[in-house]
Chains A and B, each alone.
Chain A
Amino acid sequence: KRARRPNHCSLRELELTVSELGLGYESDETVLLRYCSGNCSAHRQNYDITMKHMMQTGFRKKGRKNKVSNGPCCRPTAFEKDFSFLDNKSRYHTVQNVSAKNCGCV
């Protein structure tokens, strides 16, 4: 039986063309997309435990229909600086906040 590597929230990398980013730009230029993925269960606070309980029974008992996220999420805590590229019609573009720089469970 293979020991499974713990899947912590961390920064991952993927090479993509700018067109594949889905931002509406057409450019065959290749970029490195950094993104956040992984598990955040180790970072649960009392808040998260309470919210999970409230979602299951607590809110209904008190007559509320609120929805809350039931745990911390693996998200970027900082983004890389601007990124510039030449599109397929020879125009330059500069875009912000595309690639993550740091990740955290928030």
Chain B
Amino acid sequence: AEKHCNPCLDAAKACNLNSSCKRQRSAYIATCSKEDPNKGEACSKKRCHKALRLFLDRVPPEFSHRLLFCPCQSVGCAERRRQTIVPDCSYKDKEKPNCLELWRVCRQDSLCRSRLADYKVNCWVTPQTVSTCPNQDNHQACLASYARLIGTDMTPNYVDSSFSNWTISPWCSCKGSGNQEEECLNFLRYFTDNTCLRNAIQAFGYGIDNMQNK
């Protein structure tokens, strides 16, 4: 039954029918699913991240954002959405670091540092403000900044295949923060409790619906 209404499957179809999108998508999936012969590990995270960044750089957002933010009403759809970035390789790790530690790692890398700063500029407003996104509720800017974090140490993703109550987070937690727990939770909220990001993703879904109804 999911076959009949799965916007994430439709997004994959749209990409497969465009020769450039199909080629670039296949390239990152193949890289991220390939075993790393040097380490004998499941994959090379470094290469996978690079391939993901190339995909998101080269493929227009009309294809890539559709894959990342497809509006789901079923578990099958949400699972496909979660799988978009090949999370087993690009997202998960053997251990889940503390978010402040991950933040430190990100700040040491100029690409990750600047993209995280960009994300905060475009996706975060203080809770008291009237609008939900910066720059007059610019949802597109927030989604683009979110997409640019994919392929960095701060790669965010949907944490599970829930479609009604989804959460986004980088691969980290605030366990073991000691006296810095408050600071850690405040950082994690940029992802897990972000009204701008949430609204932008939900509005993206409506945008697709409107296009299809025309």
Q: Chain A residues in contact with chain B, CB under 8 A?
A: 15, 28-32, 81-86, 90, 92-94
Contacts and interface: CB of A to CB of B under 8 A. Distances in A.
B4 to A, nearest CB: 10
Nearest to A18: B16
B13 interface: yes
A15 B6 CA distance: 18
A105 to B, nearest CB: 25
Interface string B1-36: 001001001001100110000110111011011000
Contact of B9 (A28, A81, A82, A84): A28
Contacts of A81: 23, 26
Contacts of B9: 28-30
B143 to A, nearest CB: 22
Contact of B12 (A32, A86, A93, A94): A86
21 contacts: A28-B6, A30-B13, A30-B16, A31-B16, A32-B16, A81-B23, A82-B30, A83-B22, A84-B26, A84-B30, A84-B33, A85-B16, A85-B29, A86-B12, A86-B83, A90-B80, A90-B83, A92-B33, A93-B33, A94-B26, A94-B33
B1 to A, nearest CB: 11
A31 B29 CA distance: 16
B27 to A, nearest CB: 8
Contacts of A90: 79-80, 83
Contacts, number: 48
B29 A30 contact: no
B157 to A, nearest CB: 14
Contacts of A30: 9, 12-13, 16-17
Contact of B29 (A15, A28, A32, A84): A84
Contacts of B83: 86, 90, 92
B70 to A, nearest CB: 13
Contacts of A92: 29, 32-33, 83, 86
A93 B86 CA distance: 11
B117 to A, nearest CB: 32
A35 to B, nearest CB: 16
Contacts of B12: 29-30, 85-86
Contacts of A31: 16
Contacts of B29: 84-85, 92, 94
Contacts of A93: 33
Given A29-B13, A86-B12, 9 more contacts: A28-B3, A82-B27, A82-B30, A83-B22, A84-B29, A84-B33, A92-B29, A92-B86, A94-B29
Nearest to A89: B79
B64 to A, nearest CB: 15
Nearest to A94: B30
Nearest to B14: A30
